């Protein structure tokens, strides 16, 4: 099956002026410009939200991937023994495979692990995604690159609200309180009052101000009904446990 992108590539390959084959050069320019536009859209969304990797990072990853894919296709000679039969076949996917691995390490650098959770996973995923867009543009699969970009932007914008709705029903809470109080019993009592179930509870002793010892409880709460009582629950929890702080890790209010 011949795709529309392949038809466009064939037309460009056959385009010559005074015997000079300029179609490939024009195709490379189109690929680079399209890559800048598409990766720029994804990078702008990350920049707008103030993420660690923004517009410039996404543009550089996308354009770099595009250039490597172009070099993989056109940058190595294609030797023949009699003008028709090749001595060897080029493997244009080798550099692309190396890009996939290399950008994976770059994306890992955008992930930040702190005591109150992990941040940057979505940004790391978008870095990996613009790499795929760059490879698609560099291999002249323009329609695939455009469709993938639209899907990525749709996921980043539309699914965020859906994620917020889900996290409201299942908030992940980090509560820090004095270690000399019966914290676990208080959490269970308050949860029972608000008809919710804490699970996955873990505790850790942490240092407070001076010689003060604190206990940090991390747990997820499942509300039986989405009645919007999360703020009331947190307020009651903070009051009953004399908490120093109560944080939400996966809620985006």
Examine the fold and report which residue of 107, 135, 166 is the final residue of a domain before the chain moves on. Answer: 166
Q: Which residue from 147, 149, 153, 211 is spatially nearest to 179, judged by alpha carbons?
A: 211
> Are both 207 and 113 inside the same structural domain?
no
Q: Coil, strand or helix: which one is 119? A: strand
> Are both 229 and 157 inside the same structural domain?
no
Indicate whether this model's pTM tops 0.95.
Answer: no
Task: Return the CATH number at 230.
Answer: 3.30.70.260
> Are both 106 and 227 inside the same structural domain?
no
> Are both 28 and 139 inside the same structural domain?
yes
- Among 26-35, 72-81, 99-108, 119-128, the range with the most confident prediction by mean pLDDT is 26-35
The crossing angle, in degrees rounded to 10, of helices 23-48 and 55-74 is 160
Residue 221 falls within a domain, yes or no?
A: yes
Residue 253 falls within a domain, yes or no?
A: no
Predicted local distance difference test score (pLDDT) of residue 170: 73
Tens digits of residue pLDDT in 75-102: 776 666 665 665 556 677 788 888 888 8
- Structural domain boundaries enclosing 50: 4-166
More confident residue, 233 or 250: 233
> Are both 137 and 234 inside the same structural domain?
no
Tens digits of residue pLDDT in 131-160: 999 999 998 899 999 999 999 999 988 887
Could you give the number of structural domains in the chain?
Answer: 2
Residue 22 falls within a domain, yes or no?
A: yes
């Amino acid at each position: 099956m011949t795709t529309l992108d392949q038809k466009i590539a064939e037309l460009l390959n056959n385009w010559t002026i005074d015997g000079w084959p300029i179609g490939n050069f024009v195709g490379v320019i189109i690929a680079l410009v399209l890559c800048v536009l598409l990766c720029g859209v994804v990078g702008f969304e990350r920049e707008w939200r103030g993420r660690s990797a923004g517009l410039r990072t996404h543009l550089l990853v996308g354009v770099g991937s595009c250039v490597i894919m172009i070099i993989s296709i056109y940058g190595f000679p294609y030797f023949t023994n009699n003008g028709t039969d090749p001595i060897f076949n080029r493997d244009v996917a080798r550099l692309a495979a190396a890009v996939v691995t290399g950008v994976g390490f770059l994306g890992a650098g955008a992930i930040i692990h702190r005591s109150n959770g992990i941040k940057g996973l979505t940004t790391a995923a978008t870095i990996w995604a613009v790499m795929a867009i760059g490879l698609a543009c560099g291999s002249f699969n323009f329609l695939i690159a455009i469709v993938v970009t639209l899907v990525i932007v749709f996921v980043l914008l539309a699914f965020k609200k859906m994620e917020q709705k889900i996290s409201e029903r299942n908030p992940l809470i980090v509560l820090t309180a004095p270690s000399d109080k019966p914290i676990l019993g208080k959490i269970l009592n308050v949860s029972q009052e608000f008809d919710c179930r804490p699970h996955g509870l873990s505790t850790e002793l942490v240092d407070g101000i001076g010689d003060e010892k604190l206990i940090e409880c991390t747990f997820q709460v499942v509300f039986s009904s989405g009645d919007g009582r999360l703020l009331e629950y947190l307020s009651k929890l903070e009051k009953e446990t004399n908490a120093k702080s109560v944080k939400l890790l996966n809620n985006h209010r």
